[in-house]
Structure 1
Amino acid sequence: MLLSERIGPIESASSAPLYLQLQKALREAIQHKVLTPEDALPPERDMAEDFNVSRITVRKALEGLVHEGLLTRRQGAGTFVAARVEKNFSKLTCFTEDMISRGRSPHSEWLARMEGAVTPEESLTLGLSPSTPVYRFHRIRYADGAPMAVEYSTIAAFALPSLDVVDHSLYEAMASAGYKPVRALQRLRAVLITPQHAGLLGVKAKDAGLLVERRGFLKDGRAVEVTQSYYRGDTYDFVAELNDPA
């Protein structure tokens, strides 16, 4: 079956550039699971003939999806729908947004939701006075039913009306309250999965893992979020785009 028969043809009446139309069709096919992880795409020449566009158009469309982490290129093998999740460090998005954009179905399992006073360490990190109230959210993050990360978030209490407003997306709840971070500092380091986290993530103790520490800031410069996320090392990749300032 031709790829155009699986995902649908490019809309001839659309005024959008052809590469964006093809990119949109492929992205929606991945999101709707018409194309699934590890599916191989046809060679660029075949796709160009199939969709009646130039190879340059096909290449540009695919490059955009590779940059988004939806596709991966393998030397000598071709282009495939990504099986591992790629998190772009240059974009401030939450886990839920990342998974939905990649055609995955996210959900969370709550370990704890609690209100308390800021700890001395949190006080320094968030710039809050001692005894300032904060909310803490501990949960396992899943994609398509598979555990991906254990996440521990501390949020300044002024940024949320209550604990209960947080459902599937912390950032969505913060945005509704008018306090979604617009900037973040993130630190990534390799760790060994602890026995406690191994049981939650379905891996072995001392397996490779990734710890991402994030501090989120509001537009006025105030720190509002501190999150530590422990990711399985076998399912998650972090990428960053680098540019020459010259």
Structure 2
Amino acid sequence: MSLSELVGTLPERGSGPLYLQLQHLLRDAIGAQLLKPEQALPSERDLCEDFDLSRVTIRKAIEGLVDEGLLVRKRGAGTFIADMRREARDTRVEKIFSKLSSFSEDMESRGMKPSSRWLSQSTGMVSPDEAMALALSPGTAVHRFRRLRFADGKPMALEYTILPAHYLPDITAVTHSLYEALAQTGSRPTRALQRLRAVGFDAEQAEAIGVEIGHPGLLIERRGFLPDGRPVEFTQSYYRGDAYDFVAELSGIDDG
């Protein structure tokens, strides 16, 4: 059986760049377990014949998935589907729960390279739940960000962020770090309230992060505030439970 028979075929040629179409096809197949961890991909030559694509297109698609951590190149052996569970164990991270820092800052402080894949960026009117979380009036404009976070190319967390649009006039200013963009407008949070609870990834989340449905995760809900007490950020971050340890320093009660 050819790979195209296993994972499906590309849509019509007018549906965007061919390398992105192939990436999407392979990403979906990995998420659906049609391609198993540590399974070898066919050679570039075989993929060219199978999907009727040029070698340049095949190579570009594969390189993108390697950067995302979904594929692994082994010298002299070929390209393989990454074993996410093993990779996550090898990249376990301690998150200091009492420190107000961004994902990018956390990874960089540990000598790891942070990166993101944007799933969506949009601006719209605040919903009732969002208005309650951020103490906003009905009709207020908000920015919504949804992205997958990586450390050294490995998927680590799925992040949803909402913030009042007047704190960040240009939504495209967020490229590398949300906190860096907010700092440029003088609106970076100086304190936050965080809530942590255990969750199981639903189908959409599991597909995005490359794990099975119900995979154990940790949800952190964060409300960030300016020095004057105004809420500027509401973020829900779904971390891989097998990749993160959360640490908090506690002090004893002074009885006098």
Please indicate, yes or no, whether the TM-score normalized by the shorter chain is above 0.5: yes
Which residue, 195, 200, 212 being the options, matches 1:192? 200
The answer as to 2:232 corresponding to 1:232 is no
The answer as to 2:222 corresponding to 1:214 is yes
The aligned runs of 1:99-114 (5 Å cut-off) are 99-114=107-122
- Secondary structure of 1:173 counterpart: helix
| Map of 1:84 onto structure 2 | 92
CA drift of 1:156 comes to 0.9
Identity of aligned residues (%): 58
Deviations 1:47-84 (A, max 9, x none): xxxxxxxxxxxxxxxxxxxxxxxxxxxxxxxxxxx841
| Map of 1:223 onto structure 2 | 231
> What amino acid maps onto 1:96 in structure 2?
S
| Map of 1:127 onto structure 2 | 135
> What amino acid maps onto 2:118 in structure 1?
W
The aligned runs of 1:2-17 (5 Å cut-off) are none
CA drift of 1:183 comes to 0.5
CA drift of 1:221 comes to 0.3
Q: Which consecutive unaligned segments of at least 5 residues does structure 2 have?
A: 1-89
CA drift of 1:193 comes to 1.1
Which residue, 166, 191, 197 being the options, matches 2:174? 166
CA drift of 1:151 comes to 0.4
Quote the Cα distance in structure 2 between the aligned partners of 1:97 and 1:115: 26
Q: TM-score w.r.t. structure 2 length?
A: 0.63
> What amino acid maps onto 2:139 in structure 1?
S
> What amino acid maps onto 2:232 in structure 1?
V
Quote the Cα distance in structure 2 between the aligned partners of 1:212 and 1:170: 16
> What amino acid maps onto 1:223 in structure 2?
P
Quote the Cα distance in structure 1 between the aligned partners of 2:193 and 2:176: 23
Find runs of 4+ consecutive structure 1 residues off by over 3 angstroms.
none
Quote the Cα distance in structure 2 between the aligned partners of 1:243 and 1:181: 25
Quote the Cα distance in structure 2 between the aligned partners of 1:183 and 1:245: 23
Quote the Cα distance in structure 2 between the aligned partners of 1:110 and 1:188: 24
Q: CA RMSD in A?
A: 1.0
The answer as to 2:111 corresponding to 1:94 is no
CA drift of 1:122 comes to 1.1
Matched residues, number = 165
| Map of 1:157 onto structure 2 | 165
Quote the Cα distance in structure 2 between the aligned partners of 1:192 and 1:83: 20
CA drift of 1:230 comes to 0.7
Quote the Cα distance in structure 2 between the aligned partners of 1:184 and 1:99: 19
Deviations 1:74-98 (A, max 9, x none): xxxxxxxx84111111100000000
CA drift of 1:120 comes to 0.5
